[in-house]
Amino acid sequence: MLSRRSLLSTIAATTVATILPARAWEDDISAEARPALADTPRLIVGGGPDSLPGQVAPILATALARGLSTLTPISTHYDLGRDGVTAANLFDTQSPEADGNTAILAPGAALIASLAGDARVHFDYSRWAALIMARRPVVTLAKAELHRSLRSRLSGMFHDRPVRLAVSHPTGVELSSLLGLSLLGLHPLPVPGYAGKAEALEALKSGQVDAVQLTPGPGDDLSADIASAPEGIKPIFFSGPTIAGVPSFDATYAMARGHAPSGALYQAWGAVSNAAASALILALPMLTPPLAIARWRHAAQEAVTEAALKTWNDSQHLTITAGADAAPLLNQLEPELTSLLALRRWINNNQPRWRQGQETRPT
């Protein structure tokens, strides 16, 4: 059954596809005959110049401008917030008319904040029309003791200390690992203050935490990081693009529980984990006129093939989906209402415990 969010996204994508096929803009009108946008296109960036969106914004804006045939460069507005929430709020308030001149470049962290019910969130990403989805793998690493004793702990034979998970903050990007470990019955305890990979791995090696969440960055080789991890540290599950030798969450769950995962919280984990794996989202307001969506879609498809942008994406280990194919990936980040409510109830029930340094309750 489609959620309201998925239904709206499907209707929008179908409308655009019906009125203008994916290549209609470039097939029907030559490059020389394409009129430029009436107003200067604007890109709202979910982060400062040093953030992941901020680093790629100038490269992406230049590439998009060529596809849009703009008379002036695309202007960029940077958000100095840490997770893109401020930019997403601005996007929803600054582009209510959806005239096709304003797009957002947001990190997945902004969507996780929305899913978690963060009080700062005043935007609704179900009203976005995705143009580009840039994804990268997310891996949860933990001591092998978790693997060896998982069945026993689930059956109540083990009552040792909870699994200490390094997090930036409990409802940040590590929410994927926190909820996943909880669904596995491992009673994770979020240990905040670990915003970087190096700090988290050092804490894991020194025994200050038992689990970390990793994503690859420039110059990283995630498979090599996993292979070179200290003895006793193994991958528990991944989300996003697959990583060789790392089990999926479903496979780990089936090993632990003896059956496939299901239920509202599991469905919520799917949305959260996909958001964690979404490094960047380029989107327009969903009610943007179909011609404008088709124009931006074409520009996005052309942009991701340009050498400068492709080189940057490769350096960040990003898997890129552009144009109409990006819409279904954004839909995966939109859970059913029942699942969303279950997630927020789980968070609300556990936040007082986390503040007191207590382990997570499963429901």
pLDDT at 7: 46
User: Please, which residues have CB within 8 angstroms of residue 45's CB and are 6 or more apart in sequence?
Assistant: 51, 53, 54, 57, 76, 77, 78, 79, 87, 104, 105
Confidence band, pLDDT 50/70/90 cuts, at residue 147: low
Q: What sign does the CA torsion over 179, 184, 185, 187 have?
A: negative
Confidence band, pLDDT 50/70/90 cuts, at residue 213: very high
Q: Tell me 361's DSSP state.
A: P
Mean pLDDT of 77-87: 91
Confidence band, pLDDT 50/70/90 cuts, at residue 153: low
Q: What is the mean pLDDT of the chain?
A: 85
Give the lowest-confidence range in 50-64, 77-91, 147-161, 254-268.
147-161
Confidence band, pLDDT 50/70/90 cuts, at residue 115: very high
Mean pLDDT of 136-156: 68
**Of 248, 209, 251, nearest to 230 (Cα)?**
209
Q: Which pair of structure tokens corresponds to residue 248?
A: 């999926």
Give the lowest-confidence range in 3-7, 76-80, 111-115, 336-340.
3-7
Task: Report the relative pairing of strands 278-285 and 163-166 from DSSP bridges.
Answer: unpaired
95 or 356: which leads in pLDDT: 356
Spatial separation of the C-alpha atoms in residues 181 and 91, rounded to whole Å: 34
1 or 250: which leads in pLDDT: 250
Check pLDDT > 60 for residue 8. Answer: no
Check pLDDT > 90 for residue 81. Answer: no
Kindly report, residue by residue over 219-243, the tens digit of the pLDDT.
888 888 787 777 778 899 999 999 8
Q: Tell me 31's DSSP state.
A: G
- CA distances for 118 relative to 109, 111, 112, 281, 341, angstroms: 11, 10, 9, 19, 13
Spatial separation of the C-alpha atoms in residues 340 and 116, rounded to whole Å: 8
4-136+274-335 belongs to which homologous superfamily?
Bordetella uptake gene, domain 1 (3.40.190.150)
3-state secondary structure of 30: coil
| Domains in the chain: boundaries | 4-136+274-335, 138-272+340-355
Mean pLDDT of 126-140: 96
Kindly report, residue by residue over 30-52, the tens digit of the pLDDT.
444 344 444 689 999 999 999 99
Beta partners for residue 45, in sequence order: 78, 105
Check pLDDT > 70 for residue 323. Answer: yes
**Of all residues in the chain, what percent are helix, strand and coil, respectively (each to 5)?**
45, 15, 35
**Of 294, 324, 323, 309, nearest to 34 (Cα)?**
294
pLDDT at 35: 43
Domain 138-272+340-355, CATH number (from 3.90.660.20, 3.40.190.10, 3.90.228.20, 3.40.50.300): 3.40.190.10
pTM confidence score: 0.85
Check pLDDT > 50 for residue 120. Answer: yes
pLDDT at 24: 37
pLDDT more than 90, % of the chain: 65
Mean pLDDT of 155-178: 80
Instruction: Strand 128-135: give its sheet, edge to edge.
Output: 75-78, 42-45, 102-106, 278-285, 128-135, 319-322
Check pLDDT > 90 for residue 110. Answer: yes
Check pLDDT > 70 for residue 17. Answer: no
